[in-house]
Structure 1
Amino acid sequence: MREERTDARDTLESLAAGEIDVSEAESRLSGYVTTDAGRFDSDREQRRGIPEAVLAEGKRPAEAAALATTALESTGRALVTRTNPDHAAAVRDAVGEIAPDATVEVDETTRTVVAHAEGYERPELDATVAVVAAGTADAPVAGEAALVAREVGATVDRLGDVGVANLDRLLDQVERIREADVVVVAAGREGALPTVVAGLVAAPVIALPVSTGYGEGGEGAAALSGALQSCTVLTTVNVDAGFVAGAQAGLIARAIDGA
């Protein structure tokens, strides 16, 4: 209790001296920061080992930008997912206003925006996550998973277009995939690739069903069912849940690094 009071006093003294702003002070004292757009969980990475992300989908551009700048101010990093061009532009402009020296990475394919404050150092883990995509249509969701695993601190190795429609495309990459400590496999249509990969490697495999396909079983339904019924051992996340797959892979990477 005494240590907590000392930390609180140090925070208040830093605020009074102008060394930190109100958002940073609130983050240190409560673990979250309150904005008009909602409360940002600034303590998530310390508590869970994965960064808090701003889901832009369903938010107005100004709301996504406000939460992104709050994230940058309180943690040194902002990770925004499921953006559209208006979200991305609003976040870029808002970050530029409060932190002109910050780096901003906009990826239209994965619909993500990542900003790092000047001097921010991303965690580094001694573990590799392979992110494997069956086809080009699966790349956006696979890319989201890769980005999140990277931000957790893992080394990420991305492989694309190795779907089972031509098994040779996968077989000539098997040794490379086997070098990874954990594997995320994104596939739509019938979703066979995660099961096949899981039967060929020793590392944990996370199946990431993607919402591609036609008619019956389309929009990821068949891919999800196939992964849930896999005859080889793997873990399955929801359809298009790239953030979840990347975060889970990152947590496994953290455990490996810690060991």
Structure 2
Amino acid sequence: MRDTLEALDAGEIGVAEAESRLAGYATTAAGRFDAAREHRRGIPEAVLAEGKTPAEVAALATTAVETTGRALVTRADAEDAAAIRTAAADLDLDAADSIDPAVTHDERAGTVVVHAADFDPPAFDATIAVVAAGTADAAVAGEAAVVAGEVGAEIDRVDDVGVANLDRILDQRDRIREADVVVVAAGREGALPTVVAGLVAAPVIALPVSTGYGVGGEGVAALQGALQSCSVLTTVNVDAGFVAGAQAGLIARAIDAGRGE
């Protein structure tokens, strides 16, 4: 505690970072940011942009950078991204961070990632294959991929391999088998996760997507199909790309730790 207070008094850290060190979170007008989540849980805290104003999203994102060196924002649109870029450029970080933070907006995945100039991203020896059945499933798959990558895993995207033509997934099976964990995003009837889980030895996480229409549409059939899978897999909620990516990242982290022993 004394070190933190002395660093604050010397101007080496700001109030937000001091609060996060002492309390585990930082308070903003937009809410409290859980700066200790990655240390406590192994995954970075994410800012959900949905339901917040761009100004609120930007305030929480800059607090994240000030306290942890990076920000991970999900369900963000172009207006959110623009607000974050402006706020990040105005950040008054210490002299070592004279370069503006790097801001990456994946428009399709709806994610914004900000890294301070001196942020050292985690990286470990484990690969996650993020598989999407069709182009309509790519946005949710992309969110999972970005989150898993921020946890520290290597990401291999495998797109447009839906079961309407089994050759598309079969000609990628050797590639997918090389991964340590597999996330499979699929909408409509959601058959692809079950097929993939029957082809690989790695843990598979089914990510139902809210595509499809009529009876069982909006991800209902995909979710129920994954829950009834005859192949062994784990299922997350409809469109829960963050949860799938984070869970896959935690599994990959454990695999990496086992390899290091």
TM-score, normalization: structure 2? 0.96
Residue 50 (structure 2) pairs with residue 57 (structure 1): yes
2: distance between equivalents of 1:168 and 1:251? 31
1:129 is paired with a residue whose SS is strand
**Residue in structure 1 matched with residue 95 of structure 2 by the alignment:** none
Q: CA deviation at 1:185?
A: 0.1
**Residue in structure 2 matched with residue 229 of structure 1 by the alignment:** 228
2: distance between equivalents of 1:108 and 1:127? 26
Preserved CA contact (<8 Å) 2:88 2:100: no
Residue 126 (structure 2) pairs with residue 133 (structure 1): no
Q: Which amino acid aligns with 1:71?
A: A
Q: Which amino acid aligns with 2:235?
A: T
Q: CA deviation at 1:86?
A: 1.3
Q: CA deviation at 1:214?
A: 1.4
Aligned-pair Cα RMSD in Å = 0.7
1:141 is paired with a residue whose SS is helix
| Superposed counterparts of 1:141-152, under 5 Å | 141-152=140-151
**Residue in structure 2 matched with residue 239 of structure 1 by the alignment:** 238
Q: Which amino acid aligns with 2:183?
A: V
Q: CA deviation at 1:223?
A: 0.2
**Residue in structure 2 matched with residue 3 of structure 1 by the alignment:** none
Q: Which amino acid aligns with 2:189?
A: E
2: distance between equivalents of 1:228 and 1:250? 21
Equivalent residues, number: 252
Corresponding residue to 2:3 among 7, 10, 16: 10
Q: CA deviation at 1:87?
A: 1.1
1: distance between equivalents of 2:86 and 2:234? 39
| Superposed counterparts of 1:1-259, under 5 Å | 8-98=1-91, 101-259=100-258
2: distance between equivalents of 1:147 and 1:160? 15
- Structure 1 vs Structure 2: percent identity of aligned residues? 76
Q: Which amino acid aligns with 1:55?
A: L
Q: CA deviation at 1:96?
A: 1.2
Q: For structure 1, which runs of at least 5 residues remain unmatched after alignment?
A: 1-7
2:103 is paired with a residue whose SS is strand
Q: CA deviation at 1:97?
A: 1.1
1:98 is paired with a residue whose SS is coil
Q: CA deviation at 1:119?
A: 1.4
1: distance between equivalents of 2:123 and 2:216? 40
Q: Which amino acid aligns with 2:47?
A: V
Q: CA deviation at 1:101?
A: 1.5
1: distance between equivalents of 2:56 and 2:254? 34
Q: Which amino acid aligns with 1:172?
A: D
Q: CA deviation at 1:89?
A: 1.0
**CA deviation map 1:152-203 (0-9, x unaligned):** 0000000000000000000000000000000000000000000000000000
Q: Which amino acid aligns with 1:186?
A: A
Which segment is superposed worse, 238-247 or 100-109?
100-109
Q: CA deviation at 1:85?
A: 1.7
1:105 is paired with a residue whose SS is strand
2: distance between equivalents of 1:106 and 1:181? 27
Q: CA deviation at 1:204?
A: 0.2
1:223 is paired with a residue whose SS is helix
2: distance between equivalents of 1:102 and 1:248? 27
Q: CA deviation at 1:237?
A: 0.2
**CA deviation map 1:22-79 (0-9, x unaligned):** 0110011010000010000000000000000000000011000000000000000000
TM-score, normalization: structure 1? 0.96
Q: Which amino acid aligns with 1:250?
A: G
